[in-house]
């Protein structure tokens, strides 16, 4: 009899796993049918999501209620759906410049409203009641910054509850008494999965509820669901999952919500190659969250061993946008071999709707234990300082670059701080200071090999001078007032 029961249990587990794998594949393949096209870039604001909230408010499938206001008076809304006894609470953008999951939430809501996947949605919504707070910090989102209008990090305000946004989150947590909570964030694109060159595209954490990092049933359940979500992401971003630090932070909402009895799942959206706007990562949020809800509804996560949680690599922070390695650099008559690590830093425009790049040398020296989205082996290449030229009209930037010119004296039009081509525009009085490669500088210089210029590095973007510019360049030049 025991053998029969064991066989039956194993059979059910295998069937559940196969059904969930099939669902995940279908979710990924059909994603574009549910993607909310009106919010396709990261710098979304409160006004951008109001038409979407109104749409769901008019839909009888959903319950939409105003649950609070931000410091500057922007409404906070909770969108709920489902008839199950188990409450699941998902909130996003408590940091105003972390909107990836906000976009994914509206994709998920579109999915829940659509006629497809009827059986799977019925399985979820009959067992669970889902509650979404898509933008907790709309004042921060308005200016694309982490903190709220008070200058407070909402995720460090769980004890004092100084901000109205914090008070709303605490009140909702207490009233819902959710079994699971999803605390949805973005992290730096410079995190990698520990000891690998892979970016930590998604990082997870089952938050600790005390300094000892004890594991009770509440935290264990979060770990099990995270293991399941990790297995999903491995199908689409293999090796690109990290495990966020579980050091206890007594002021943080995630840690306290776990202490208050909700199994807390932190999701951090990091970086992905050629995905600056994080649209592929948004898709991974959508797929993994929906799949997690399915496993919560059928409770198959309970059979997952928590030991697998520790097998997820830790987050590390050893990524650059560009690493130039083994570069020859001449200084005071001597030659040295350097690695350079370069960040393509984003600078917001005034309305916080778009940005441009102002790059910097983040580090140099021996960077053999670091990685990058793009690595260039500069063995045999030597640094060449840039030149300045006066040009009345720029017709072909590549012609100037091939002559070693990076700085151009010309009359820029308008008041922009950047240009859409790889040159640095300067005024008539501009003079190059003594050229030296060092951390903090804007990386603009040339590379030569065997006496010939081969590459230009303009504002941190590497350009092969033998290839057409349009086929390789994705950065911008700068306009300097100096």
Q: Is the pLDDT of residue 271 over 80?
A: yes
Alpha carbon distances (Å) from 343 to 239, 272, 439, 443, 455: 23, 15, 11, 10, 18
- When pLDDT is cut at 50, 70 and 90, the band that residue 10 belongs to is very low
Sequence-distant (6+) residues with CB within 8 A of 22 are: none
Spatial CA neighbour of 307 closest among 202, 210, 227 = 227
Alpha carbon distances (Å) from 375 to 64, 179, 378, 440, 461: 48, 45, 9, 19, 12
84-130 pLDDT per residue, tens: 999 999 999 999 999 999 999 999 999 999 999 999 999 999 999 99
pLDDT of residue 415: 73
Q: What is the mean pLDDT of the chain?
A: 94
> Across residues 325-332, what is the average pLDDT?
97
Question: Is the separation of the CB atoms in 288 and 300 below 8 Å?
Answer: no
> Across residues 449-455, what is the average pLDDT?
97
Question: Is the separation of the CB atoms in 69 and 164 below 8 Å?
Answer: yes
Alpha carbon distances (Å) from 395 to 28, 32, 97, 363: 45, 40, 37, 35
Buried b (16+ CB within 10 A) or exposed e, 174-198: eebebbbbbbbbbbebbbbbbeeeb
Structure tokens at 386: 């840039």
Structure tokens at 74: 């922007």
HSE, side-chain direction, 13 A CA sphere, residue 189: 20
* Radius of gyration of the CA atoms of the chain, in A: 25
> Across residues 320-348, what is the average pLDDT?
97
Q: Is the pLDDT of residue 427 over 80?
A: yes
Q: Return the residue matching tokens 């151009």.
A: 408
Q: Which residue has the higher pLDDT, 412 or 384?
A: 384
- When pLDDT is cut at 50, 70 and 90, the band that residue 22 belongs to is confident
> Across residues 134-154, what is the average pLDDT?
98
CB atoms within 10 A of CB 10: 11
pLDDT of residue 19: 64
> Across residues 53-60, what is the average pLDDT?
98
> Across residues 150-157, what is the average pLDDT?
98
pLDDT of residue 480: 85
pLDDT of residue 18: 66
pLDDT of residue 49: 98
Q: In percent, how much of the chain has pLDDT > 70?
A: 95
For the whole model, what pTM was predicted? 0.94
180 vs 198: CA distance, rounded Å: 29
pLDDT of residue 2: 52
Domains and CATH numbers, the chain: 27-316 (3.40.630.10), 319-479 (2.30.40.10)
Residues facing 331 on adjacent strands = 334
- When pLDDT is cut at 50, 70 and 90, the band that residue 448 belongs to is very high
Q: Is the pLDDT of residue 165 over 80?
A: yes
290 vs 175: CA distance, rounded Å: 24
Q: Is the pLDDT of residue 16 over 70?
A: no
Alpha carbon distances (Å) from 245 to 181, 188, 204, 230: 18, 14, 9, 16
Least trusted range by pLDDT, from 9-18, 133-142, 199-208, 369-378: 9-18
Q: Is the pLDDT of residue 9 over 60?
A: no
Question: Is the separation of the CB atoms in 374 and 321 below 8 Å?
Answer: yes
């Amino acid at each position: 009899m025991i053998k029969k029961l064991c066989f039956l249990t194993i059979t059910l587990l295998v069937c559940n796993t196969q059904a969930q794998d099939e669902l995940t594949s279908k979710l990924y393949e059909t994603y574009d049918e549910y993607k909310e096209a009106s919010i396709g870039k990261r710098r979304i604001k409160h006004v951008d999501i109001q038409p979407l909230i109104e749409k769901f408010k008019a839909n009888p499938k959903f319950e939409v209620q105003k649950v609070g206001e931000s410091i500057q008076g922007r409404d906070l809304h909770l969108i709920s759906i489902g008839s199950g006894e188990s409450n699941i609470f998902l909130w996003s953008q408590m940091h105003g410049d972390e909107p990836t999951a906000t976009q994914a939430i509206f994709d998920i809501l579109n999915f829940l409203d659509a006629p497809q996947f009827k059986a799977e949605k019925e399985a979820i919504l009959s067992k669970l009641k889902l509650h979404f707070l898509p933008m907790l910090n709309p004042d921060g989102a308005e200016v694309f910054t982490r903190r709220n209008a008070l200058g407070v990090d909402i995720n460090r305000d769980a004890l004092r509850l100084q901000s109205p946004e914090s008070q709303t989150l605490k009140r909702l947590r207490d009233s819902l008494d959710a079994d699971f909570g999803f605390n949805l964030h973005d992290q730096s694109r410079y995190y990698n999965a520990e000891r690998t060159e892979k970016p930590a595209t998604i990082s997870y954490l089952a938050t600790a509820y005390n300094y000892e990092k004890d594991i009770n049933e509440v935290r264990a359940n979060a770990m099990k669901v995270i293991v399941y979500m990790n297995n999903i992401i491995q199908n689409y971003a293999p090796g690109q999952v990290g495990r966020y630090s579980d050091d206890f932070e007594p002021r943080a909402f995630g840690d306290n919500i776990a202490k208050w009895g909700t199994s807390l799942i932190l999701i951090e959206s990091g970086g992905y190659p050629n995905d600056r706007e994080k649209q592929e990562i948004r898709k991974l949020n959508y797929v993994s969250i929906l799949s997690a809800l399915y496993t919560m509804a059928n409770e198959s996560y309970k059979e997952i061993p928590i030991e697998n949680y520790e097998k997820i690599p830790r987050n590390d922070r050893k990524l650059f946008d560009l690493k130039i390695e083994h570069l020859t650099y001449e200084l005071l008559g001597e030659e040295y071999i350097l690695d350079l690590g370069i960040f393509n830093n984003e600078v917001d425009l005034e309305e916080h709707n778009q940005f441009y790049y102002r790059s910097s040398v983040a580090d140099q020296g021996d960077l053999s234990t670091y990685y990058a989205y793009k690595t260039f082996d500069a063995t045999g290449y030597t640094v060449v300082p840039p030149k300045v030229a006066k040009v009345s009209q720029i017709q072909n930037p590549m012609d100037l670059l091939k002559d070693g010119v990076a700085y151009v004296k010309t009359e820029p039009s308008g008041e922009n701080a950047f240009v859409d081509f790889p040159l640095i525009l300067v005024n008539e009085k501009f003079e190059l200071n003594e050229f030296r490669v060092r951390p903090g500088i804007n990386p603009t210089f040339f590379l030569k090999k065997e006496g010939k210029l081969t590459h230009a590095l303009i504002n941190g973007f590497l350009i092969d001078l033998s290839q057409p510019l349009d086929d390789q360049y994705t950065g911008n030049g700068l306009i300097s007032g100096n």
